[in-house]
Structure 1
């Protein structure tokens, strides 16, 4: 499909200014402008788009197209590399796709345009075997260095039972151990002079301050950090691969475990994407319930951040108080959904069950109780002189640097940039709620904390509005693809009972198409880019998490700092490794 005359202005400008050839426009369910471009035109087009305010590299991923059957009017492609850009000024996205054949899987690197592309390109190489010419360090990032094959290819096994039984001979064990040896030169480290040698410190993968199974190799001059190399992948468990072998419905509990501190907030972008593909309209009551549950999980996540942040900096008391309040949040969620951290409460078309009788009493008591506690915490933490000295001016960056590194959420707003997805692109009815966007000024460790603290107060405002304005009506859509269908539909006659059985056991058949839906999650922008081939399972499940690009900034933030400063920086980022490694 060629570029139509009524295409967006940026598309016409892009093709004219770059003199690009063979540009095709693809319609998608998410209505994001999607262009197929040639390998030769790619770099020039990306440079032009960045100059035209598409400054954030939101995502960079790939699709193995070889088994996909529903590709109407799309270019022939064995593998497709996808570049997803976001413009804050225009408040819109654009997606560029490049078709590749299996015998020639390479593209030019874009790390000189966006430094955050470094890890994204490494991930595509690791998962799909697509090379990026000119990349400074194109090595595996999530899989072990000795891994055979590329896991997100369709011909790579998905279960251990599909592979040969595992065995490890003495010879192979030596090869595996040797592959783990850290060679500084291979990571780009250099000695300061001929008469010097490297001094290293491995921080992690078991150190409590790295908040999970995460390793940072530090190059030191005394206690001063010369360089830092984050090493991820220890927590990788194939979340995207699982999404391609579970039915649309049964994959929902897996999403809870991505940012496992965000609970059902992880369900939301996934079910929103499926609902967009299936053209399901979610009832107003279900939308408000979803907003309330999301904000409760935001409170739970931020309370944990607040407590561990202070603990990492040497304060022991606050975390005990904050965990008490976090437990109160979980008690509320459990009374509504039946579970606490991983409630998997959202469903395709709505929520799992309606609110129980008397649901509002406990929530109202909590939102009346917490503001005074937050004021106490301000005195204990934010007004503490020692904590201020440890965090103010440490690990700072400005807005332009944050966007270059694909930083989103509170870590971006800490630089003074008031941009929140709930305000800019409201979803699930957020346009009906009044709340402010907290910002910082310096983009340092202190501001990243103060933004999250104020976000908790704004979450309380939103929850109170949910309490006062909860609409009546169904908690799930009466749509044939809503899964599982409302109980009254299942017991009407034998046909509806059969439909219920098929939707739950095999999953609904979602129309072919592509859709990416994004939410303002606890740690930044979390998006699910789903590709349906018209079946009962996702053909491609891409999870764009905020923590993955955030950790890339660690070297820039800590060079010239001391080791205790790095502890403060890690605490202020607010990440979990499941959100990074997936």
Structure 2
């Protein structure tokens, strides 16, 4: 770990974030306390309420005391107007939630909530405190209609500019059947076309020199190098980039809204489609959050099976990244070899789960079924063979002088910048920070497994690729330990709220049969509460924050994805570089647009 990275992970004056908040009243204003109320949650994360007027004071003081190690991990909102169970919480029509995470040797997290009233609530912007707050605040404005006073560019981000409502409000429709048949008049069509007209000033762009005029290039939204339906508007002087504005939302399909209309169990397949290269890795944090709400303990065998499948998908996802990254900078051959290896991974996953990319195989309380006969030999043959092929790819790609020239020193950022922009996963470790959620806050059975945390030193495109490759080797190491140490026992918890429920006593009596029928058709009734679960996903930290109001469906489903945070850095990384360098930068970020837009 670099010296700069080591300095960032020192504890915040040996005090927890919650202690620091309670200390602020004497240090800042002499008042008795900034805290309106404290809230208990199922996940045990410290949660406090402050007023809108005190918000910036509290956040600024916390950040100043944190030695640049405090990350704005997530920023979201809740429409409270239809919620029943809000014991010990201030009255609110809407709540804005700030989730802070200190990247110290031991994980330290705190949620700060602000209660807002009325149909058009306002809260101060914090974009000057954390750069990554920009997109999060725009997302909240877009989906909830909460205005952030002082935001430099508050416009819609996930819905079209002509959208007239805020989709995550409880009074907004969730299905097409709740609306009249779609129609488009000529006047409406003209308004939609006019809204697509590009006006540089409306995008926050301005003339950067007196002797040049605006020159723009649309990269995307349909271009192979942008890895999905994604648009970047480039302002150029010659071939050098002066400014870049990412335009997202083309892939938005309301995954969080769907989470509030599906039962706890039937929502699992929807999670597969978020980071669609991560497969069951998407199920992982969701079912963990539900299990935390329900108080379900997952059996050891199911935990280790989950970890083994998650690491197989990590390998599959990283192989796609490796091959397409090489392709982006001009090497065509590697992607064919690496996709062949990925097919072998899918062969294993299909043999175990029955499906390839979207198995939706995790269940609330465990996994869908036990491992098939011969599973260990199938996996062992693959993990014995892949290291030799990775060595070949090192010579083909990583030691190729042209590839090195295209990636070394390009798109570099520091650890402090990574924390400022909410970068996690390989992109954070490439800066030299040895920080992995599986080690800092072990979940499932990761605390029983040995693995190293790969790091880089320069935080550039080359280091991000190198970290991904070493992570493949570490995943192979983890999988081998899972094979060698797989415990015996059940693959699902014996708990009444597991889904689907156990069938052992279904026909015992009519009451048991009725309970089973309702649990299968309507899903379990999860006790009221709030919980979030986070994992080290393929591209960074992925978390689900769930609120149960004592129903068969989630009251609020929040999906925090790494790709959304990472794409915000594109303007910072692209200013002053050549267009060809931007292609390498985009490829090295390793994102999926469904993971961005949800």
Q: Residues 158-194 of structure 1: CA distance to partner in whole angstroms, max 9, x if unpaired?
A: 0011112111111111101111111111122111345
DSSP-derived class of the 2:202 partner: helix
Partners of 1:99 and 1:297 in 2: how far apart? 40
Partner residue, 1:80: 95
Which one of the candidate residues 221, 233, 248 is aligned to 1:205?
A: 221
Partner residue, 1:240: 256
Partners of 2:302 and 2:356 in 1: how far apart? 19
Offset of residue 197 of structure 1 = 1.8
Q: CA RMSD in A?
A: 1.3
Offset of residue 107 of structure 1 = 0.8
1:297 aligned to 2:307? no
Which one of the candidate residues 147, 160, 170 is aligned to 1:154?
A: 170
Per the alignment, do residues 372 and 496 of structure 1 end up closer, same or farther by CA in structure 2, a change over 3 Å counting?
farther
- The size of the alignment, in residue pairs, is 577
Is 2:24–2:34's contact at 8 Å kept on the other side of the alignment?
A: no
Partners of 1:221 and 1:434 in 2: how far apart? 50
Partners of 1:310 and 1:196 in 2: how far apart? 35
Offset of residue 503 of structure 1 = 1.5
Partners of 2:247 and 2:194 in 1: how far apart? 17
Offset of residue 347 of structure 1 = 0.2
Per the alignment, do residues 489 and 524 of structure 1 end up closer, same or farther by CA in structure 2, a change over 3 Å counting?
farther
Q: Residues 218-253 of structure 1: CA distance to partner in whole angstroms, max 9, x if unpaired?
A: 000010000000000000000000000000000000
1:279 aligned to 2:279? no
Superposed, which structure 2 residues align to 1:449-468 within 5 Å? 449-468=465-484
TM-score (norm 2): 0.95
Offset of residue 491 of structure 1 = 4.7
Which one of the candidate residues 140, 144, 160 is aligned to 1:144?
A: 160
Offset of residue 510 of structure 1 = 0.3
Partners of 1:492 and 1:472 in 2: how far apart? 27
Partners of 2:262 and 2:597 in 1: how far apart? 19
Partners of 2:315 and 2:212 in 1: how far apart? 49
Per the alignment, do residues 493 and 297 of structure 1 end up closer, same or farther by CA in structure 2, a change over 3 Å counting?
farther
1:32 aligned to 2:45? yes
Per the alignment, do residues 240 and 114 of structure 1 end up closer, same or farther by CA in structure 2, a change over 3 Å counting?
same
Offset of residue 492 of structure 1 = 4.4
- Which structure 1 residue ranges, 4+ long, deviate > 4 Å from structure 2? none
Which one of the candidate residues 480, 493, 498 is aligned to 1:477?
A: 493
Per the alignment, do residues 546 and 421 of structure 1 end up closer, same or farther by CA in structure 2, a change over 3 Å counting?
same
Partners of 1:343 and 1:480 in 2: how far apart? 24
Superposed, which structure 2 residues align to 1:33-48 within 5 Å? 33-48=46-61
Partner residue, 2:186: 170
Is 2:120–2:147's contact at 8 Å kept on the other side of the alignment?
A: no
Partner residue, 1:390: 406
1:509 aligned to 2:542? no
| 5+ residue gaps, structure 1 | 1-5
Per the alignment, do residues 8 and 189 of structure 1 end up closer, same or farther by CA in structure 2, a change over 3 Å counting?
closer
Q: Residues 486-512 of structure 1: CA distance to partner in whole angstroms, max 9, x if unpaired?
A: 332435444333222211210100000
Offset of residue 21 of structure 1 = 3.9
Offset of residue 529 of structure 1 = 0.4
Offset of residue 485 of structure 1 = 1.9
Superposed, which structure 2 residues align to 1:258-277 within 5 Å? 258-277=274-293
Which one of the candidate residues 10, 21, 28 is aligned to 2:20?
A: 10
Partners of 1:535 and 1:164 in 2: how far apart? 28
Per the alignment, do residues 21 and 492 of structure 1 end up closer, same or farther by CA in structure 2, a change over 3 Å counting?
same
Partner residue, 1:318: 334
Partner residue, 1:542: 558
| 5+ residue gaps, structure 2 | 1-15
Partners of 1:406 and 1:332 in 2: how far apart? 34
Partners of 1:125 and 1:362 in 2: how far apart? 49
1:358 aligned to 2:371? no
Q: Residues 10-44 of structure 1: CA distance to partner in whole angstroms, max 9, x if unpaired?
A: 34213433444452100001111100100110001
Is 2:365–2:492's contact at 8 Å kept on the other side of the alignment?
A: yes
Partners of 1:178 and 1:347 in 2: how far apart? 47
DSSP-derived class of the 2:222 partner: coil
Per the alignment, do residues 323 and 489 of structure 1 end up closer, same or farther by CA in structure 2, a change over 3 Å counting?
farther
Offset of residue 148 of structure 1 = 1.2
TM-score (norm 1): 0.97
Q: Residues 388-437 of structure 1: CA distance to partner in whole angstroms, max 9, x if unpaired?
A: 00000000000000000000000000000000000000000100000000
DSSP-derived class of the 1:218 partner: strand
DSSP-derived class of the 1:171 partner: helix
Identify which range, 22-31 or 545-554, moves more after superposition: 22-31
Partners of 1:91 and 1:361 in 2: how far apart? 37
1:58 aligned to 2:68? no
DSSP-derived class of the 1:201 partner: strand
Partner residue, 1:3: none
Which one of the candidate residues 233, 241, 246 is aligned to 1:230?
A: 246
Q: Residues 505-531 of structure 1: CA distance to partner in whole angstroms, max 9, x if unpaired?
A: 101000000001100000000000000
Per the alignment, do residues 493 and 456 of structure 1 end up closer, same or farther by CA in structure 2, a change over 3 Å counting?
farther
Partners of 1:181 and 1:55 in 2: how far apart? 39
Identify which range, 509-518 or 85-94, moves more after superposition: 85-94
Partners of 1:537 and 1:490 in 2: how far apart? 24
Partners of 1:17 and 1:489 in 2: how far apart? 61
Is 2:271–2:283's contact at 8 Å kept on the other side of the alignment?
A: yes
